[in-house]
Structure 1
Amino acid sequence: MSRKIAIIGSGPTATYTLKYMIGAEPGLEILIFEAGRRAGPGMPYSRQFNTPQVLANIASIEIPPLTRTLVDWLGSLSDNRLETLGIDRPEIADRAFYPRVVLGDYFAAEFSALCRDAVGRGHRVTVLTEHRVADIVPRRTGFQIVADTAAGRKRCRVDAVVVATCHRQKTTQEAPYLYRSPYPLKTLALGEERSAAIIGSSLSAIDAALTLAARYGYFDTCNGRVTYTTLSERSLRIALLSRKGLLPEADFYYPIPEEPLDIFSETAIEALIAKGKTGLLSRAMRLFRAQLLQDDPAFFAELGIKRFTPEGLNRAYFGRREQSDLFTATIANLAEARRNHRARRTVMWRYTLMRAHEMFSLVLPYLTDRDLRRFHDTLKSVFADAYGCVPHASIARLLAIRRSGVLSVVVLGERGRLVRRDGRFAIDGAGDGETYETLIDARGQQAMTLHDLGFASLADASDESDPFRKNRRSRSVDDFRLHLRPGLAQQIFCVSLPLLLKRHPFAQGLVSSENFGKAVAAGLLGTRPIRALGASGRSKMAQETRLAG
């Protein structure tokens, strides 16, 4: 019997899911609902939300291939097309970083290729762009999809559903010069006074700052040095507001594929989980401590941790950075990262932390609520800082606008609070008393519930407040399945990023998208279960020289 399957969303996670679904026996009818005008890119890489100057923080070699790699796709383009993308053919390389819109074009092309492949394999695929799904109604057998279109509301029945919506952020201004999200980046604008405060100092905040700088000026490079010149008649003022007063560090070099950890390993994690959730976080920390001590004893000694707890590691890790002058440290870090890339040298503690967060991703679905909160409050920011590095070109541009006098970083600490006063934004308890005309919240995607996603009937049919919690009896084939009330259809899987973030806080990378797509396809098709590691986009998928020494 043919099965009709709806995929809600058409971004990278949906595209990887499609890749692994179409290997099934012929006869699937796949309906793909996309709210936008273009299928494939998703919000992070869409031309609707990004400007050409904004770089993705994932090298081409890190992106799991679909029908071909990003480098192969770029190599197939004409010189004229490459020129429109701002890419010189000799510069196409595995470790190069490209604008987000280039990745968006790649995913759009690969999405179309997969759809053609699916038809060639005997499946039927219908792509419904500009169809915003308003509700998913579970029935005894199957589901009703309710979608809003320009022609009015439409309904259709399907046998199974994959909810693969991506970022869900407010993209409209609530008031003049108040942005609850930096997206769409191309709509960001300053008022007459040319001043903006940006909440956050991670990559999203950096992208917002660089977008504003490019809108009111231009970057130039001479002899390897990036400069910035403003074209505004009034001086620009852009402030990043940070609790700790830190900036993410530059992308670092390490071998591909990643070498597996030998102490804090997947096998060891499975043994820890088998002992039960009580004390699981503490047991994982002991293995993590042993791994870090073995791999980089000098760094471990530098931390000076007496009790290797999540709280102790957080204080020690960030404490060593908070003692340095921010921009002096940023300049030094960029120089070190560039030297290491040229020499193919790996900083071991960074490499260990990057791999260790993937092992913690296996643990998180099993933690008690208390330990999960501890992880979010402490270790999540450590790992996000360690692996969430920034392309060298973006750091260089950030330093350029700093040298031009445009950029500052305000340390909020625990006391700093934003207030609105006389139509402007001010900071109480921190900073130097400056006020700003524009405010941009760039803290990134926040975790949401089923009710927050807006699918009311689906939320009412589930009584799970924590749908991705697991126990020792959980089956891999049920990864990301939503368990609805008895008597209702159960063939529904959710890999919507806002819903994943509670138990999978590192789910925002493209390798995660592939892992989630594999797991969902296995669950839908009843094939051999595939473990979904929940790894970040820092994970590598291609073969390269192993780490020497």
Structure 2
Amino acid sequence: MTTIAIVGSGPTGVYAFKALATVRSPETVTIWLFEKGADAGVGMPYSDDTASAVMLANIASIEIPPVTRSYLAWLRAQTQALLRSHGIDPQDLDDRDFTPRLMLGRYYRDEFNALIHQAEGLGHKVELRERTEVTDIRPGPDGRLRLLTDQGEVEADFDRVIVATGHAFPDEDENRRYFPSPWSGLVDAVIPACPVGILGTSLSAIDAAMAVATQHGRFVQRRGEQLRFDPAEPDGDARLSITMMSRAGLLPEADFYCPIPYEPLSVMTPEALAALEGRDDLLDAVFDLFRAELTQADPAYAEALDLGSATPEDFPSRYFKARREADPFDWARRNLAEAEADREACRTVPWRYAILRMHEQVEQLVEQMSDTDRDRFEASLKPVFVDNYAAVPPESIRRLLALHDAGLLSVRAIGSDWKMEESDSGTTIRTEDDSLRFDVLIDARGQKPLEAEDLPFPSLRDSLVAAGVEVLDVDDAYRLLGAPDYEGRVYMGAIPYLMHDRPFVQGITAACDIGTQIGAAVLEEAAASGRRRRRIWSGEHRPRLRRGPAEAARTAEPAV
């Protein structure tokens, strides 16, 4: 019998559970699921505790990997009353729609429960522990692992532990004037009408702006009219103002139409990338493929940017030039109109689609780059890729424009050399040539990569630190490396710890890929262990004469 623990039940945990729960195994498999929240399966970004009704998921329905059924099929099975309560028109469901985060959380909760029934129907045993936080992972007897929770030590020992704890942000701060993330109590906080600063301009920053703005008014759209924001009655002389800040002061662009699943690239093929491995000039070689792919996809765009003379270092300035020269809200208005017209016509902008498809290919080589090339990549191609794939729902752009038109929202460029000063009365952002003071500040710059010393499991953390591990390393199946007492038994699916070598590993599709790969590897290992045990019980496995190292290496059973 194999006993497996999944720590965390957001999307990564759900897809790992799916891989385990939907396959009949010759071995008895017991799956323990630990969720520190009240509702397993929901996931932190889609929970009532951290999201509000106005926050939108940054992924279209068509892109959400199905669990037991597609997201669109699940939506069509819901009551009209439920859909309307989340602002969804039951008569206008479309697989390109962006829905509220809370609705996506309901989907994963329902699908998680369906997986439990499937698992039990296939003979697996499932133990669910909600409101239970795993506080440590310790070596146990016979090469197994023991878990400690805030409820005490778990009564079972585990052959494998899958860490799927998801995003990790600072805990809620008692200081209601500074929020270290939009998920640190902002949803429940009462924000007065005052100057509010938000670090960041991407979807997390938009979520923060929506959480604040909707406490002081509402979005209204009448038939044939643009979306507008109607402020509530002012509280005396107090007035709400929201300032979003980033290095360049640019707003994200609206999500653009493109074929899904993605069409293969013509120049940056797997074979072409494989041929670059081991090169000292890896970034420049990658950029040559990038430039050739972009030129072939959209010759007019390449000519407009004079792409033939571009380098990795100056490409971002060419890419962002027109946006930096325009007012951010004027640009957003034009870009929104273009994106909506393209969707209506099912028309794809070739250069946008080419960059979108290339970012995942390039990511595969980042780990192989030298420190110098890695630094160059972080400052050049990475911001371009992030800007491209982090396009936001068109409705989010409409809301930003409505807040700006109401005189409540502005965007500021603060460069890279700025400092933050906190006090009891607020926070000041000091730049090279300005000083911006806010009564409330929200840091919405997104998830930061985490290291070994950030792990919330003391025994595992101490083992890695003692072995000199700073940045976690995993093999192709996401088995954690570097901790001798845990080798091969802990699978690291927590995205923040994977971001050092995989800078774009975020979102539900990445969670699905990671969880599915981990689940399949764990099942294969369980089957291999079962085969070994059966050989022993049948007498097939007999003692052999001791062999020398060379002979042992030739005849050893291959690792699975």
Q: If the length of structure 2 is used for normalisation, what is the TM-score?
A: 0.87
2:507 paired residue number: 509
Match runs of 1:426-465 below 5 Å: 426-429=428-431, 433-462=435-464, 463=467, 464-465=469-470
Using the TM superposition, give the Cα deviation of residue 468 of structure 1 relative to its aligned residue in structure 2, in angstroms: 3.5
Using the TM superposition, give the Cα deviation of residue 417 of structure 1 relative to its aligned residue in structure 2, in angstroms: 3.1
- Tell which deviates more after alignment, 282-291 or 29-38: 282-291
1:409 paired residue number: 411
- Out of 283, 286, 297, which is 2:285 matched to? 283
1:536 paired residue number: none
SS of the residue corresponding to residue 311 of structure 1 reads coil
Preserved CA contact (<8 Å) 2:191 2:215: no
1:237 paired residue number: 241
Preserved CA contact (<8 Å) 1:60 1:94: yes
Preserved CA contact (<8 Å) 1:8 1:161: yes
| Distance (whole Å) between structure 2 residues aligned to residue 439 and residue 204 of structure 1 | 14
* C-alpha spacing 1:48/1:421, structure 2 compared with 1 (3 Å): closer
* C-alpha spacing 1:421/1:263, structure 2 compared with 1 (3 Å): same
Preserved CA contact (<8 Å) 1:199 1:442: yes
Match runs of 1:452-491 below 5 Å: 452-462=454-464, 463=467, 464-468=469-473, 478-486=476-484, 488-491=486-489
- Out of 263, 272, 283, which is 2:267 matched to? 263
| Distance (whole Å) between structure 2 residues aligned to residue 338 and residue 427 of structure 1 | 36
- Aligned-pair RMSD on alpha carbons? 2.1
- Tell which deviates more after alignment, 494-503 or 98-107: 494-503
Amino acid at match of 1:11: G
1:532 paired residue number: none
Match runs of 1:181-330 below 5 Å: 181-183=181-183, 184-191=185-192, 193-222=193-222, 223-231=224-232, 232-233=234-235, 234-273=238-277, 276=278, 278-305=280-307, 308-330=310-332
2:493 paired residue number: 495
Using the TM superposition, give the Cα deviation of residue 187 of structure 1 relative to its aligned residue in structure 2, in angstroms: 2.2
SS of the residue corresponding to residue 313 of structure 2 reads helix
1:44 paired residue number: 45
SS of the residue corresponding to residue 367 of structure 2 reads helix
Using the TM superposition, give the Cα deviation of residue 301 of structure 1 relative to its aligned residue in structure 2, in angstroms: 2.3
Preserved CA contact (<8 Å) 1:201 1:241: yes
SS of the residue corresponding to residue 461 of structure 1 reads helix
What 5-or-longer segments of structure 1 have no aligned partner?
529-549
| Distance (whole Å) between structure 2 residues aligned to residue 509 and residue 288 of structure 1 | 24
1:352 paired residue number: 354
| Distance (whole Å) between structure 1 residues aligned to residue 486 and residue 220 of structure 2 | 60
Please state if 1:372 is matched with 2:387: no
SS of the residue corresponding to residue 247 of structure 1 reads coil
Preserved CA contact (<8 Å) 2:83 2:89: yes
* C-alpha spacing 1:398/1:431, structure 2 compared with 1 (3 Å): farther
2:18 paired residue number: 19
* C-alpha spacing 1:417/1:483, structure 2 compared with 1 (3 Å): closer
Preserved CA contact (<8 Å) 1:194 1:237: yes
| Distance (whole Å) between structure 1 residues aligned to residue 317 and residue 9 of structure 2 | 40
2:104 paired residue number: 103
**Percent identity of the aligned residues?**
38
2:85 paired residue number: 84
1:531 paired residue number: none
Higher alpha-carbon Rg: 2
| Distance (whole Å) between structure 2 residues aligned to residue 181 and residue 488 of structure 1 | 32
SS of the residue corresponding to residue 158 of structure 1 reads coil
| Distance (whole Å) between structure 2 residues aligned to residue 134 and residue 401 of structure 1 | 43
Q: If the length of structure 1 is used for normalisation, what is the TM-score?
A: 0.89
Using the TM superposition, give the Cα deviation of residue 76 of structure 1 relative to its aligned residue in structure 2, in angstroms: 1.1
2:529 paired residue number: none
Amino acid at match of 1:38: D
SS of the residue corresponding to residue 143 of structure 2 reads coil
- Tell which deviates more after alignment, 450-459 or 299-308: 299-308
Amino acid at match of 2:13: A
Amino acid at match of 1:406: L
Using the TM superposition, give the Cα deviation of residue 312 of structure 1 relative to its aligned residue in structure 2, in angstroms: 2.0
SS of the residue corresponding to residue 480 of structure 2 reads coil
Using the TM superposition, give the Cα deviation of residue 485 of structure 1 relative to its aligned residue in structure 2, in angstroms: 4.1
Preserved CA contact (<8 Å) 2:305 2:319: yes
Q: Deviations over 1:92-149 (max 9, x none)?
A: 1111110000000000100110111011111011111111111111346011111113
Amino acid at match of 2:208: A
- Tell which deviates more after alignment, 256-265 or 365-374: 365-374
* C-alpha spacing 1:269/1:224, structure 2 compared with 1 (3 Å): farther
* C-alpha spacing 1:522/1:366, structure 2 compared with 1 (3 Å): farther
| Distance (whole Å) between structure 1 residues aligned to residue 82 and residue 207 of structure 2 | 25
| Distance (whole Å) between structure 1 residues aligned to residue 84 and residue 328 of structure 2 | 37
| Distance (whole Å) between structure 2 residues aligned to residue 391 and residue 94 of structure 1 | 13
* C-alpha spacing 1:54/1:253, structure 2 compared with 1 (3 Å): same
Match runs of 1:166-177 below 5 Å: 166-177=166-177
* C-alpha spacing 1:260/1:122, structure 2 compared with 1 (3 Å): same
SS of the residue corresponding to residue 150 of structure 2 reads strand
| Distance (whole Å) between structure 1 residues aligned to residue 349 and residue 288 of structure 2 | 22
* C-alpha spacing 1:340/1:123, structure 2 compared with 1 (3 Å): same
| Distance (whole Å) between structure 1 residues aligned to residue 514 and residue 77 of structure 2 | 29
Q: Deviations over 1:397-439 (max 9, x none)?
A: 1100101110011110234433336723233236865521001
* C-alpha spacing 1:235/1:432, structure 2 compared with 1 (3 Å): farther
Preserved CA contact (<8 Å) 2:473 2:482: no
